[in-house]
């Protein structure tokens, strides 16, 4: 190896300076000889980083709808009064232009080839805050669904007959019941969302008697009697649906001993082997209506039977099955889950006959392995654990009362 090579070696302490001199010399020779390997296009400035060629710039896409009359883009033209808009269209305007390009957009509604209007879903009947919107417990059941019952025309009663001179202001009664703040209650009254004894009230000065008045907000009944109790019990298997049992078996009273001692009614019955929702209340009128056949309160059950479950059985149950006490049927039938050897079915029916679900499935040749009632009217179990009791929220109570016309 020559002396110049040893000087340019990394092992030499003066290698840096020597390398710089060699690079400069090589650059000069490359300029003279035309090769330029050391200082050419392969390295930038003689450093260690490779030189990357710049990528060609891509032309920005220009929307034809955003161009001006002369074809120039909006960003390159200044805004001028009376001229086309320099700003890009907003979301609503862009959606309008996109809809205008659809075939049939210019045709009149209902004509052949015209666009079909979109259905309005979730439209609220009343705007503003809902009643009992600040509740911390209970389920939000949405708008009230009153039962379709034939009623005569409601007579027009003068609003002055609702007014009770010795009563309490309506907005104060509503606020005390937990509907909303007094100011929001005043807005509800002014918007015509409040009924007193079946009559819409819009005057803020109306006074009512809380003990006798029947008040509805957005169709939701307000329970003004604080002594009324409404509870949901998730009955386990093996518990008798009675308050006392002479044979000493577990009963409902064993789970409500810590309550204040009110006399409670269990709405309907569940046999010993059936689990699920059981309503408890001291409202006798509500209990009578929930169990009366004329109100047809729907009840939802989850039924487990052995599989496989052939097709056509659900249609047979909906059409009606002959039992020893007459023909019975289900209102709804849905297959929920299927595992090897077992099938889970959801049925809805309004009949309150004894052991009606078990007898229906026995009649079609599929005895029930497990039966759970998960819903009565608008009230559902949700994630409530077995053996527990919870109080209904005021909104749930209103929906329950409305379901039977109270």
Q: Which residues have a catalytic role annotated?
A: 271
Phi, psi of 285 (to 5 degrees): -65, -40
DSSP 129-149: PPTTTT-SSS----S------
Strands 332-339 and 265-267 turn out to be unpaired
Q: How is residue 121 written in tokens?
A: 């879903």
Rounded Cα distance, 211 and 349, in Å: 36
B/e letters for 361-387, b = 16+ CB within 10 Å, e = fewer, are: beebebebeebbbbbbbbbbbeeeeee
Q: Could you tell me which of 130, 144, 145, 286 has the C-alpha nearest to residue 220?
A: 144
Helix 394-403 crosses helix 284-291 at what angle (to 10 degrees)?
Answer: 50
Q: Could you tell me which of 321, 303, 304 has the C-alpha nearest to residue 312?
A: 321
Strands 275-281 and 370-376 turn out to be parallel
Sequence-distant (≥ 6) Cβ neighbours of residue 208 within 8 angstroms: 162, 163, 164, 167, 168, 170, 173, 196, 215
Q: H or E element: which one contains 372?
A: strand 370-376
């Amino acid at each position: 190896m020559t002396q110049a090579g040893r000087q340019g070696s990394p092992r030499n302490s003066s290698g840096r300076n020597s390398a710089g001199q060699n690079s400069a010399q090589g650059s000069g020779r490359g300029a003279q000889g035309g090769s330029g390997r050391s200082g050419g296009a392969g390295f930038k400035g003689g450093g260690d980083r490779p030189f990357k060629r710049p990528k060609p710039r891509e032309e920005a896409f220009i929307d034809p709808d955003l161009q001006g009359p002369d074809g120039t883009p909006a960003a390159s033209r200044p805004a001028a009064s009376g001229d086309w808009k320099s700003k890009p269209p907003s979301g609503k305007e862009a959606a309008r232009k996109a809809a205008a390009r659809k075939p049939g957009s210019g045709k009149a509604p209902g004509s052949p080839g015209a666009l079909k209007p979109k259905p309005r879903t979730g439209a609220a009947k009343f705007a503003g805050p809902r009643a009992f919107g600040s509740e911390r417990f209970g389920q939000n059941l949405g708008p009230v669904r009153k039962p379709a019952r034939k009623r005569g025309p409601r007579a027009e009663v003068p609003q002055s007959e609702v007014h009770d001179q010795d009563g309490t202001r309506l907005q104060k009664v509503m606020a005390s019941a937990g509907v909303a703040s007094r100011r929001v209650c005043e807005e509800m009254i002014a918007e015509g969302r409040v009924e007193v004894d079946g009559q819409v009230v819009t005057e803020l000065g109306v006074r009512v008697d809380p003990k006798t008045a029947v008040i509805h907000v957005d169709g939701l009944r307000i329970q003004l009697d604080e002594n009324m109790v409404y509870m949901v019990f998730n009955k386990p298997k093996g518990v008798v649906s009675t308050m006392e049992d002479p044979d000493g078996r577990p009963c409902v009273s064993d789970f409500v001993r810590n309550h204040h001692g009110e006399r409670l009614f269990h709405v309907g019955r569940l046999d010993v082997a059936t689990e699920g929702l059981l309503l408890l209340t001291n409202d006798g009128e509500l209990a009578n209506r929930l169990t009366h056949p004329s109100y047809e309160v729907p009840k939802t059950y989850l039924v487990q039977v052995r599989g496989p479950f052939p097709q056509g059985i659900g249609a047979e149950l909906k059409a009606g099955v002959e039992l020893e006490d007459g023909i019975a049927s289900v209102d709804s039938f849905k297959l929920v889950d299927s595992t090897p050897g077992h099938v889970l079915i959801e049925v809805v029916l309004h009949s309150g006959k004894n052991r009606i679900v078990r007898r229906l499935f026995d009649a079609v040749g599929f005895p029930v392995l497990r039966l759970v009632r998960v819903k009565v009217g608008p009230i559902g179990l949700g994630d409530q654990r077995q053996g527990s009791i919870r109080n209904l929220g005021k909104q749930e109570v209103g929906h329950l009362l409305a379901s039977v016309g109270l």
